[in-house]
Amino acid sequence: MRQIIPAIVLLLLSCVSVQAQDSVNVAVAKASPGSNKFAVYGNAEASYISNSVAKGFGEINFKPIFLWRISPKLFIEAEMEIETGGGSADLGLEYANMCYTVNPYLTLHAGRFLPKFGAYRGRLAEGFINRFSSNPTGFGDGGIGASVETGVGALGALPFGDIKILYDCYVVNGPHLLTDTLNAGQFDYEAYTANNNSLAVGGRIAIVPLAASNLELGFSFQHKAKTGDAGTENENVSLDMQAVDLNWYQNISALQSTLRITGELRHQKTGDNAAYLAADGVTKYLFANSPRAWYLSGSLRPALVDNTFFRNLEFAYRYSNYKRPVNAPWGGAAVTSNEFAVDYWLHWNSLIKLAYQSKSDEPKTFYASVVFGF
């Protein structure tokens, strides 16, 4: 008992000390305009895939997003991704972007950030936003455009009455031309460092023309004068990309439903001065490298009905097309894809997806996936 009493007294004194220190910290935090505010968001995803070649559970993804508000003008966003698609757990830095708010109409940012070219990869591809379990053909890996960029940029919005103009402009490392036998003419869009003394410049401008803000039309471009590695014969091969995108939704009273339509068209043109080595390592060849990809999707959700079960259902269809260079080692005939999905929303950022895909160069595939946002 004599040993227990001093221990209890010491514990009480420690608690009082901690509470006093916490009070001081709270007071300092309230008094300091630069106090940090921190939050963690993100999503987790699990999937099942079944076709004539394989059946089984596929990728497990966990993507925490860290948000820091350092002051009313300073903000940091970063995302880590842990995925198992390669057969083992793989940890990667998706983005780490530092932002400075100049005024309500202009924000400057620098770091590794979601792409500003087009709308799908930077805004609609996340698992709890995408109504399907896959990407449109030509918009994922091996397609046109980056999923992240490294550089600096400026973005904002300008109101003109009921009309709003959104803008993004940026300077980034940009795409690196690949010249190996299997990938000749494709690009590494997501390199962490530059490969020559040329940077890519680009931007997106969009208009929200309606007072209800339920329609957005965008145009994007990107140009890089040199895409090849420094000192190589392909260093001066240029690349130009353009894209147009659409995002529209409307409540349909007669159907007691919400209709959403999204779409995007992308095109890129590689400089004609590119030369690639054939498999023999000696012969050089050229090909017209001007691929194009587009998709159009629509979804209908009976969100206005009284029945909870039906209100949380959503039915979606997407068509996508990827026109590849005919003579490229990775090219050939155009790839088309038809996808049908039935989703059930558990929460505004959590859902179950059941999807069926018929793709011209792959077996017909059934997908089932669960995405939880947090």
**Residue 12 burial (10 A CB sphere; 0-12, 13-18, 19+):** exposed
Q: Pairing mode, if any, of strands 257-270 and 200-208?
A: unpaired
Answer yes or no: is pLDDT of 11 > 50. no
Residue 277's pLDDT is what? 84
- Contacts of 364 by beta carbon, 8 Å cutoff, 6+ apart: 51, 52, 356, 357, 358
Q: Does the structure show a pLDDT above 50 at 7?
A: no
Lowest mean pLDDT among 94-108, 267-281, 300-314: 267-281
pLDDT tens sequence across 22-51: 443 444 444 455 567 999 999 999 999 999
What pLDDT is stored for residue 32 in this prediction?
A: 54
Q: Check pLDDT > 70 for residue 322.
A: yes
Confidence at residue 196, expressed as pLDDT on a 0 to 100 scale: 94
Question: What average pLDDT score do residues 217-224 get?
Answer: 98
With contact defined as beta carbons under 8 Å apart, do 77 and 65 qualify? yes
pLDDT digits (tens, 9 = 90+) for 285-298: 888 899 999 999 99
CB atoms within 10 A of CB 19: 10
For the residues 293-320, what does the mean pLDDT come to? 97
At residue 10, the pLDDT reads 38
Q: What pTM did the predictor assign?
A: 0.85
pLDDT digits (tens, 9 = 90+) for 323-335: 999 989 998 899 9
277 vs 33: which has the higher pLDDT: 277
Q: What is the mean pLDDT of residues 106-112?
A: 97
pLDDT at 35: 64
Tokens (6 digits) for 123 = 């805004």
Q: Which of 41, 130, 134, 120 is nearest to 80 (CA)?
A: 41
Mean pLDDT, the chain, rounded, equals 89
Collect all residues with Cβ–Cβ distance below 8 Å to 239 and sequence separation of at least 6: 174, 175, 177, 187, 200, 222, 223, 224, 227, 268, 269, 270, 271
